[in-house]
Amino acid sequence: MVRGRKRKAGRRHPCGKLVRPGKAETLREVTATVLEARQRQYGVSARQAKDERLGSAIGRLAFAGKITPEQLAAAELYGDLMARNRAVMGLPPLHPHSAGGLLLDEGIFGRSVTEYDPDYVAKIRKRATATILMLRTADSDAVAATGRRPSVLVHAVVCYEADASAWGDADVRNLGHGLEALVSLFGIRASCKI
């Protein structure tokens, strides 16, 4: 007769301790979870769910064919530029990666203040200003008389991850117009690969 309590079933560490569920997820398991969620949420096949464009709001528009690859590249450059501009201005990021990151950014836990080179700050601010002015120019010469301004739409989709799948034709046209202005500003060629 065996003495003691019955051994619990499950995976174990080399030392014999039971592996807690959820603690030891492998990269393959995490990826499978993400792909299943994309299939459910966006109604795509397993192969299409692997497309990295489905990971952002602007990428989903490119996946659906509502914007061109050049416009997607311009939107990604715009998002990077706006994030850098927020950083050099001393503002917290729009989307912190975690609650701990948010607490660090707000100075609740030992925030490390980065000192930027003044030339770098001037360069980023100059580029951000030129980009904002280009989008305002796109506002004034937008093709669609109805709908929201291109600058508002571009900023909402790229910086705030606004879901544009249910937007009307006028808003999608204005978004494309704003992205085309960024394509010409950033000098993106039609042969760019994303």
As a whole number of angstroms, the longest Cα–Cα distance in the chain is: 87
Q: What's the CA gap between 46 and 44, in Å, rounded?
A: 7
> Residue 115: pLDDT above 60?
yes
pLDDT score for 164 = 92
The helix-helix angle for 69-88 and 150-160 (nearest 10°) equals: 80
User: pLDDT grade, residue 72 (50/70/90)?
Assistant: very high
> Residue 78: pLDDT above 90?
yes
Per-residue pLDDT tens over the stretch 116-159: 899 999 999 999 999 999 999 999 988 666 789 999 999 999 99
Whether the CB-CB separation of 135 and 150 falls below 8 Å is answered with: yes
pLDDT score for 189 = 80
Per-residue pLDDT tens over the stretch 91-100: 877 765 555 5
> Residue 101: pLDDT above 80?
no
Angle in degrees, CA 136, 144, 77, rounded to 5: 45
Burial class of residue 170, CB neighbours in 10 A (0-12, 13-18, 19+) = middle
For the chain, give the mean pLDDT: 85
Of the chain, the percentage scoring pLDDT greater than 90 comes to 59
3-state class of 12 per DSSP? strand
Whether the CB-CB separation of 69 and 62 falls below 8 Å is answered with: yes
User: pLDDT grade, residue 75 (50/70/90)?
Assistant: very high
Contacts of residue 87, Cβ cutoff 8 Å, sequence gap at least 6: 93, 114, 116
User: pLDDT grade, residue 13 (50/70/90)?
Assistant: confident
Angle in degrees, CA 76, 65, 167, rounded to 5: 85
